[in-house]
Structures are given as structure tokens and as C-alpha cells.
Amino acid sequence: MTSAFDDQDHEQDHAQDPEQPVKHDPTHDDTQDLVVARPEGLYCAAGDFYIDPWRPVERAVITHAHSDHARFGHRHYLAARPGANVLLSRLPGITLQTLAYGERLAVGNTVVSLHPAGHVLGSAQVRIEHAGRVWVASGDYKLDPDPTCEAFEPVRCDTFITESTFGLPIYRWDPPQSVFDGIDSWWRRNAAEGRASVLFCYSFGKAQRVLASVDAGIGPIFCHGAVEPLNRAYREAGVPLPPVRLVSEIERKDKAMFRQALIVAPPSAQGSAWLKRFGDYSDAFASGWMRLRGARRRRGVDRGFVLSDHADWPSLQSAIQATQARRVIVTHGSVEPMVRWLREQGLEAGAFETQYGDDTDAADAADAAPGDATATAQDSDAASQVLVAKDHDGPPQALAAKDSDAARHAPAGQADEPVAQPAPRDDSLPGANPR
Ligand SMILES: [Zn+2]
Ligand SMILES: [Zn+2]
């Protein structure tokens, strides 16, 4: 058994020079979708591989290392090279082949290449070319500048498979620099008053983006133990981060050390005894969900900074338009409003049922320290936000009507999920967890 991603045993040898245009393929059928939703994940039959599968498969192309997209159990992994360190730190021991962004690889009867998605370090859109057709699966993406990863690259395609985590008109992000200015001034004021600044954010991606973007001259920076391995992977990949010390290096009696400090911690640390060592502190949460006043209130922090690694509503629209795709398939997030908007634009639009989250619940679960009793409450809190924001106001099967494979292969029981959540408006989050 080789470790090559494309070691399939083809009845005919369709191996192609990736630099050449795809030749005629006798198995090619124009009426078949290049990517379909199967119980294991999004499947490309012409290449016999899956994209971000949630059940174990032979060949998995991974868009990025967040835990709802990159899971253990696949035989072969293919991912973008800049994300290799992070992926291996999260999934040690996997059989991983990497591609530089834009590098072309023949996989089955297709040619696959990976293109920057601007979401986190190493995040990639998957471009699949087969018999003259091009499909692109976005994974998670954002268009806003981020010093810790390559900028989103618009890729022309016939069909674009897009996320829609924040696919509602209420989601519009301020320029990132103004958000970081806000974080800096909150930290500066706390430091002047001798109070620690504890900033909760997801340990992979958001934490490094914050570290790379704040004014490190304000004071010392510390991080929680869940953040440190990711910092290391980013540094190994060549992403410059300011000096950051582990909170656990400091003796508990030396809490004066924290009075001028910024402390970056995962959401699962909120409410835990771990915070006691900081004495007097102010806390804040950095997330796109902080756009919702209800989410801010329920987080119970002093400050909410609206900072997301996902595209906001205008960015989703411009990213989709830039692909020039005539057909768009929505995977997760606010699916129905996005499909409606796409159809209003005259595009063919549908949805795939997937198990991708919004990184909130996934990250919280991954960050939760064993035995951390606060993690459960945090997770369900996050999950309720996810469910509300999904805004499926029609049955997923109806949405997926054009994607008959999605409907046919929808995992059992999904039709019974609560799908009639009201569209979230600011301040309208229900207090109860819908689960
Ligand atoms: Zn993600
Ligand atoms: Zn995701």
C-alpha cells in the first residue's frame, strides 16, 4: 500500500498530466453532479474522494483543520501545505499528502487543486476539474484581511459549493482594524487600572489572528494551554506572532504579573476556576456571534468584540459573484435565506445536508479540558446559537430537491430535527436551548 493520495486501482488508466486539459473520459456523464452529498460526506465520484467527510473514508480532501471539517479515521488525507503543521497537531499520525496552493494533482478522472480560502492558516477551497467542467467547494472562508493566512482567492467555476454561516443581512463586519483598535483600547484601559484583560476566542485561528493583530506594546501577553500548541504550529509555518507566555508558567502567588496583561483563552475556560489566579480582571469575547445582543448577554462578558473568520453577508455575496458560477449549492449556516437570495439573482441554487458547524461548537468541544465542568454549559450555549442562526425555515429535503443525491442520502433522522427556527434578529434569540 502506498501512501499516495491517488493510489486507486482503476479499471482503465486515466492518469493524466495535471498540466494538460482533462481528456475525454468514457465514464463521464454530463447529467451527473460532480459532487454529491453522501452519508459519509461530500463525494466526488469521478475522483473517488470525499471533501471534509464526517465518516471514515478512503480518500479525504480536507479544506482546513477545524474539527468539524478534519476528523480522524480516513485512510488518506490531502490538504494545503501551509496547513500541514496545524492539521498534524490536531490529527497526529494521519497519512497526509499536501499540495501547494494552485498545484494540480490528478485524482481518479479529475484534476484537483487547492486555493486559499482566507479562513485560517492552510484553509483551502477545493477546485475539481472533470471533462471540461469545474466545481469549487469553498469550505469555510472570509474575505477580510488576516495576517495569519493567505487571502481568499476567487476561483472561476461552473458550480460553487459555499458555506453560509453568517448568511443573513444583519451580519456585516466592521473593518478588522477597527475591531483590533477596540480590543487595544479595552486592554490599554484595563492595564492602566491594574486589571487583567481576559479575551475568550477559539484556540485555532481566531486566537492567532488576535495575537498577530493586537498592539503587543501595551503589555505582556499570556495564553491558555489550549492555545499554545496552535501558536507553535503557526510559528513553525512561518506566521509571525508576538512573544506569548503560558499562564501556567506563572506561580499563582505572582498574580500581579497579570495586571497589565492580555490573556487569550478558549471559551471553555469561561466561568472556570482557572480564572481565579488573575484576581481583578475584565473579560471579553471575540466572535461573529457577538453581533447578536442576545448572544453577548448570554455570554455574560464585559465586552463583545464582533470578529469572525467567516464571510459576512456582503462578502458571501461578492465571493459567490466572483466565481461566476451559474449554480450554487449551500452547505451550512443560514441556508434558506442564501438559497432564496441566489435564486433571486437568477442562479440555480440548492443545498447539501452536511454536518459542518460554525466552528463555535466544534472549537468549544475541542478546547474543553478533560474534567472542566464548565465546558458542557458553554457547549450547549454555543450550540443553541448555531441552531438559531441556521434559520432553516423549510425542510432541508425541499431545499435539496435539485440535489436529489443530497435528499436521498440525507442521514436518517435529520428530517425530524427542529427546522422551523425563527430568523434571528438582534435581541430576538430565545433564552431556551432548542436542544
Ligand atoms: Zn472553520
Ligand atoms: Zn466550519
Residue 87 lies in a domain: yes
pLDDT at 359: 59
Q: pTM score, two decimals?
A: 0.80
Residue 374 lies in a domain: no
Looking at residues 347-373, what average pLDDT do you find?
64
Compute the distance from residue 309 Cα to the ligand 2 centre, in Å.
10
Compute the distance from residue 360 Cα to the ligand 1 centre, in Å.
9
pLDDT at 340: 98
Compute the distance from residue 20 Cα to the ligand 2 centre, in Å.
33
**Selection from 30-34, 409-413, 415-419, 422-426 with the highest mean pLDDT:** 30-34
Residue 54 lies in a domain: yes
The string of pLDDT tens digits covering residues 242-261 is 999 999 999 988 889 999 99
Which ligand is located closest to the Cα atom of residue 166?
A: 2
Domain identity same for 265 and 333: no
Domain identity same for 263 and 341: no
Residue 282 lies in a domain: yes
The whole domain housing 318 covers 36-171+310-358+392-416
Which ligand is located closest to the Cα atom of residue 52?
A: 2
CATH (domain of 167): 3.60.15.10
β-sheet with 133-137: strand ranges across: 104-107, 110-116, 124-130, 133-137, 159-164, 327-333, 348-351
The string of pLDDT tens digits covering residues 192-225 is 999 999 999 999 999 999 999 999 999 999 999 9
Looking at residues 317-334, what average pLDDT do you find?
97
Report the domain count for the chain: 2
Domain identity same for 153 and 193: no
Comparing 273-277, 328-332, 364-368, 421-425, the range with the smallest average pLDDT is 421-425
CATH (domain of 226): 3.40.50.10890
Domain identity same for 165 and 314: yes
Neighbours of ion ligand 2 (CB under 5 A): 140, 356, 359
Residue 357: which pLDDT band, with cuts at 50, 70 and 90?
confident
Q: Is the pLDDT of residue 55 over 60?
A: yes
Compute the distance from residue 271 Cα to the ligand 2 centre, in Å.
25
Compute the distance from residue 93 Cα to the ligand 1 centre, in Å.
21
Q: What is the sign, positive or negative, of the torsion defined by CA atoms of 346, 313, 380, 223?
A: positive
Last residue of a domain, one of 305, 338, 369: 305
Which ligand is located closest to the Cα atom of residue 68?
A: 2
Which ligand is located closest to the Cα atom of residue 64?
A: 1
Domain identity same for 181 and 149: no
Q: Is the pLDDT of residue 117 over 60?
A: yes
Compute the distance from residue 414 Cα to the ligand 2 centre, in Å.
19
The mean pLDDT of the chain is 82
Residue 195 lies in a domain: yes
Which ligand is located closest to the Cα atom of residue 205?
A: 1
Give 242 or 32, the one with higher predicted confidence: 242
Q: Is the pLDDT of residue 27 over 80?
A: no
Residue 3 lies in a domain: no
% residues pLDDT > 70 (the chain): 76
pLDDT at 253: 84
Compute the distance from residue 140 Cα to the ligand 1 centre, in Å.
5
Which residue type occupies 111?
V
Neighbours of ion ligand 1 (CB under 5 A): 66, 140, 359
Domain identity same for 91 and 189: no
